[in-house]
Every structure is written in structure tokens, then in C-alpha cells.
Chain A
Amino acid sequence: MAFYIARRLLATIPVLFVLSVIVFLIIYLIPGDPAAVMLGDGASPETIETLREQMGLNLPLLPQYGRWIGHALQGDLGDSFFMRQPVRTALAEHLGPTLSLAVLAELVAIVIALPLGIRAASRRGELADKTLTGFSLFGITVPGFVLSMFTVLLFSVQLKWLPVSGYKPLSDGLWMHLKYLILPALSLGIVQASLLARVTRSSMLDVLNESFVKTALAKGVGERGIVYRHALRNALLPILTVIGGSFGTLIAGAAVIESIFNIPGMGQLLVNSVQRRDYAVIQGVVLFVAFAYVLVNLVVDLLYAIVDPRIRLK
């Protein structure tokens, strides 16, 4: 077990390293002097020089990366040039809405996908199976942000059931909080559900074809017992992988959705920073989300090895 954990941890380090180098190099894609671009026209050479000094742009590339990643690993992602506050603080302020949205969207996805996928696998070729085929094509075809604009047109503009945009924190009451998050979570969750439903179906089918299912059937276990007690338990691992791995996608998807619904999350922070050319924040958000994504996947993998000994012995 310890060996498995060590091996898995070691395999993660190069990915995180490459990832951080890519984020670091983003600054170098800026045509011209990053400091001058950030300050805009009319900045004096002295101010530009001070900013260059602050950003460490005068150092050679390697020490520059060393300084940057050293600070980042200690939680110091630099300062926002526009908001005049540490990037870390800005991230912390915008994390809540995004997490709320991602968790809610994941719940929507699970509630739709699991029953549909299970049903489709146990009754192949019937209504649920056909629905799933259509639904999964729908999910990869209709982008989340288009779906959300259509739902706004229907539920907010036409039917006036839900607010068009905005965000209320949980402290304003659960219903208030949910009322503003339902539409964005629904659009994000439905797209996610189509992927999850497909994985659920194929994972269930794999297990249902195994001989222990036949044995259970021969012993006279009912369909319900086979599907839920025997098959689902064994089919859960791939399903959980997709759920764990989807948080990164959800947070990225949230970036677009948040700006439609005017939700003050990390996505909106990122988009606003792009318009303000606030590169420290852009790097901070991207680094944070990508690190979180890799680490969540790592944790999910490690959890399996605890749950299912077959994996760590492979």
C-alpha cells in the first residue's frame, strides 16, 4: 500500500512541474515588455522599471521561475496589480460561489445520470437506453453556456420563475442561495450528466456480463437485488473516477457560466482579469484550478486503492 501511494505521488510531481512551467511561461507570450503592457500607455520609464523589478522580470529565466514557484508553494501568488490586494485573498473571496455552483451542478448530474445509466444497462435497447443515447449526444453537442442562455430565455424571461442573474450567498438563506444558482447549476449539470450517464451504463454493463451475476441469477436473486446489491457496488469505481475528475471541468465550465449569470466566482475573476490585463491573477487562478484538479484526481485514485485492493496490487 505504502509502495502504491509513493509511486502515485512520484508520478504526480512531473505533471505538476510541467503544469507550473506552462503557467509561468504565459507571461512570455505577451508581445513586448509585460510590465509596459500592464501599465498601459503613458507610464513613465521609472514606474515600468519598478514594476519589472517587483515582478522579477530582470532576473534570468531560471531564477525567475525558481522565485515564482517558491513563493507560490508557500501560498504567495503575488499581488493583483488592479485590485491592489494579494492574489491569494482575491482567490479566497471568489472561491465560495464557484464551489457552490460546482457542487450543485455535480448533484444535478448524479441525480440524472445514475438512475438513467443503471436503467439503460439493465434494460438494454429499451426506452431508457434510447433516451441515454440521445441524451449523451445532446450533452456533447449543446455547449453549457448556450444551454444556460436558452434556459434563461425560458425560465426567467418567458415564465419569470427564476431571476435572470445575480448571486446571493448562503448566509441570505438556503432558498435565496439556491434560487439564484438553480439555472446555472442545471445547465452545467446536464452537460456533465450526459458524460456520467454513459460511463455508468458501460460500467454497469461490464459487471452485468460477469459470471458472478449469472451465479446470483441462478440462485434466484431478483433483478433489483442483482442490479443494486451486486452490480452497482462493483460498477461504482469508474463512476466515482468520473465524478472526482469532473470537478476541474466543472470549475472551468463555471468560468463561462458565471459571467452569464453574473456570479462573483473564480470564473468571473478570471474573465475580469483578462480584460484588466491583470496577469498575476490570471496565473494564480489557472495555477490554482489546475493544481486542484490534479490533486483531486490523485486523492480519488488513492481512495480507490484503499477501497479496492485489486488496484494497488496491479
Chain B
Amino acid sequence: MPLLDTNTPAAFDSDDARLRLKRENRKLFARRFVANKSAVIGSALIALIAVVSLFAPWISGRDPYGLDVVNRLKPPSSAFPFGTDNFGRDLLTRVVYGTRMSAEVGFAVAFASSLIGLVIGLYAGYIKWLDQILMRVMDGLFAFPAVLLAIAMMAALGPSVGNLIVCLTIVFVPSIARIVRSSALVSKEQTYIEAMHALGASRNRIIWKHIMPGALSPLIVQGSFVFAEAIIVEAALSFLGAGIPAPTPSLGNLLSDGKLFIYNSSWMTIFPGLALVLVVLAMNLFGDGLRDLLDPHARRAGKKR
């Protein structure tokens, strides 16, 4: 974990000592990771979701779009562990593919908004006149409740997976940019940045080589929360018919089908709902654990023990 080294203000006698310290740090990080319940459970669940997503076609062996009119609205049984929907499609298969869709959209949004938020936050934090402009725009975007802005943009762009990722990225960039900016504002005042400046380092070099590493830990933590939040908003939008278009299995679409048959076919609501909760829970636990691990205060407290 090179992340942990960046804040260590120590001079090294030799490369050997540096390597030893690195190894030590890595060991320490591994120990603290294993001791952190949230991080362990979270990453175990994420691993499970990743496996399910990767091996989706082999899990039930059924086609998520395969109609089977004879077996419409069948309750869970050994043939259909999660039951079937109003077209006789196997719900387990659709939940598995829906989970995969959620994970894909969540990852794409978390990745894209982290990248864009990082650039905006760094430059806003370091260059004063840019700060005024960029952060005004970010404040404006941040003033919208997330679901609302996403619905409005999706209404204009039209429902599709690509559009959804673009809209959600726009919605979540400000939260990342704010966090990176505040970290950059702190780093900027440090003596070592002044020293780099005096040595004649270029602006981009200072920003990317000396300020960016300090912003990485908070960025990763916030990114994992954006991941969770994006999955919720995606499901809400698909549920409302403004997200992923209908026959594609996504957890929001499945829940929206479930709503129509809530009286007699409760399994159509229960299983997609639980799957959604599980995915979000995994990301939140992971994020919580990561925050404890990467927070320098928590780190010092851990060392004392």
C-alpha cells in the first residue's frame, strides 16, 4: 500500500531502510485490515458479488430474457429458487444479471466521478482564480437533491445505460471534488510545497506529484460511498422508468415489476429488494472499514496498541 507512505515525513539513510519500512508498513496494514470487521465483511461480500457477476451465465444456466408462459408467476420452488415473473422468466437469473448491472453502473460512476472530481478538486484547491469558478459550479450542482437532478437529465437524454452513467457521474462529481479540494487546500500550505515551489518545480508537477498523493486516501473512501449511492440512485431511476430501459434486468426494473404484482407474488419484490440491500451494504461496510484504516488518526491509535 504505497498510500500509507506518503504522509511519513522521514529522511531515509538508504534504499534498504526505505524498503524495510515499506514492508513493515504493509505488514501493519494487513494486520489492521484483518482486525477491522467492517472491512473484512465488506470485502468478502464484494468478492461474492464480483464472482456472481462474472459467472452470471453459469449460475442458473437460464436465459434472463427466456419467456416461459406456462410457468408464469410461480412461487419459489426447487426448479425456480426465486420463483418466476409475469412472463415466466426465472427470477434468480434476472436477479443475478440485475446485480451485475448494478455493480457495473456503480463501478463506472464511481470511477468516472472520482477521476473528474480529482482533477477539478486539485486544480480548484491549488489555483485560486479557478477555485472561484469551479467551486461555484460544484456548489450549484450540489444544491440539487441527487435523484431529482438525475431524473431531469435522464428525461432529456432518454433512458439508456450509457446516459445513466453520464448523468450519475455529473451528479456525484461535486462530492468528490469538494473532498479533494479541501485536502489540496491543506497540503498547499505545507512547507514542502513551498520548498518545491522555491526549487522551481512546475505547477503541474507540484499538483500531481506532491499534492495528489495526499488526496488519494479521502478520495478512495468517498469513491466507495459514491459507488453505494450510485447503485441506490440507479435503482430508483430504473424503478421510476427513467433509468435502464425495460427488458434489461436491473434491480430497479425488477422492483418496478414487483410493484405491479405485490399482492400475489411477493417474491418478485423480496428477492430483488434483498439483492439491492446486499450490494449497498457491501459497499458501505467496505467504505466504513477503509475510512478507519486510511484515517491517519485511527492509524496512530492502532500503532499504540
Question: Which A residues form the contact surface with B (CB < 8 A)?
Answer: 14-15, 17-19, 21-23, 26-31, 137, 140-143, 145-146, 149-150, 152-153, 157, 164, 248-249, 251-253, 255-256, 259-260, 270-271, 273-275, 277, 279, 282-283, 285-286, 289-290, 293-294
Contact = CB atoms under 8 A, between A and B. Distances in A.
A133 to B, nearest CB: 10
Closest 9 CB pairs of A and B: A18-B140, A252-B145, A29-B156, A274-B155, A146-B273, A143-B232, A19-B140, A141-B281, A30-B156
A289 B145 contact: yes
A290 B239 contact: no
Nearest to B269: A149
B157 A31 contact: yes
A260 B270 CA distance: 15
Instruction: From B141, B144, B280, name the one whose CB has the most chain A CB atoms within 10 angstroms.
Output: B144
A23 B141 CA distance: 10
Given A22-B140, A143-B235, A150-B269, 15 more contacts: A18-B137, A22-B149, A27-B156, A28-B156, A30-B156, A140-B228, A142-B280, A146-B235, A164-B263, A252-B148, A259-B240, A271-B241, A273-B155, A274-B154, A289-B148
B162 to A, nearest CB: 12
B277 interface: yes
Contacts of B281: 137, 141
Contacts of A285: 148
Nearest to A156: B262
A150 B259 CA distance: 10
A26 B152 contact: yes
25 contacts: A15-B140, A18-B139, A18-B141, A19-B144, A26-B152, A29-B157, A141-B280, A143-B232, A143-B280, A149-B255, A149-B262, A150-B269, A152-B262, A157-B262, A164-B262, A164-B263, A255-B151, A259-B240, A260-B259, A274-B154, A274-B241, A286-B148, A289-B145, A290-B143, A293-B145
B148 A149 contact: no
Contacts of A17: 140
Given A141-B277, A141-B281, A275 B241 contact: yes
Contacts of A140: 228, 280, 284
Interface in B252-275: 255, 258-259, 262-263, 266, 269-270, 273
B151 A270 contact: yes
B67 interface: no
Interface in B285-302: 285, 288
B49 to A, nearest CB: 14
Nearest to B288: A137
B273 A290 contact: no
A146 B262 contact: no
B203 interface: no
B40 to A, nearest CB: 15
A14 B143 contact: no
B239 A256 contact: yes
B146 interface: yes
A290 B144 contact: yes
Contact of B145 (A141, A145, A153, A249): A249
Contacts of B262: 149, 152-153, 157, 164
B136 A150 contact: no
B147 A146 contact: no
B106 to A, nearest CB: 13
Contacts of B263: 157, 164
Contact of A29 (B146, B153, B228, B285): B153
B276 interface: yes
Given A145-B255, A289-B145, A271 B269 contact: no
